[in-house]
Amino acid sequence: MFIYINKNSEIINASKTRENTTGQEIEVVDSLVPKDWQSYKYINGEFVKNTDRDDFLQNIQKKEKIAELNKQRDKKLSILTVSISIDGKEITLDADKDSQDNIKTAILALEDSEKTIWLTKDNQQIELTREQLKEALRKVGEKKREIVFSYRAKKDAL
């Protein structure tokens, strides 16, 4: 069955042929048509009851807002940094996903008393102990939790 949809997403006809006999500028869709097709609109590839149209559009807008919030959250997580104190001096480390994996690998590879050379956010080489890397990773977890839960609250408020 073919349906004919006008610019307002209203279904204006249903037919067994694709031929446009309406005289209007329309979109022709090959689809399974609800029996009571006159009470539907065709929006974003879905049949929507006219009475449900506003709810449907609000739902789409909400999904778009959630997608935008997820994008913002992911951006913040991708540029994440943490600061730790080394001999009374604050140093900042990258804490994006790759950096987190590198920190975890170093923690697993180092013995308690060993140190490793690490690059700070501003590309300075420093020596870090296993405990200092664990502290950095704990701070990463705290920051990630703050970001994720703040965006969760924003999405729940929609």
CB 92 within 8 A of CB 120: yes
pLDDT at 61: 86
Residues 43-66 have a mean pLDDT of 74
Q: What's the pLDDT at 60?
A: 81
Domain residue ranges in the chain? 2-65, 79-156
Cα 141 to Cα 146: distance, rounded to the nearest angstrom? 9
pTM of the complete model beyond 0.85: no
pLDDT in tens, 69-103: 999 999 999 999 999 999 999 999 999 999 999 99
Instruction: Name, in order, each residue with C-beta under 8 angstroms of 135's C-beta and a sequence gap of 6 or more.
Output: 84
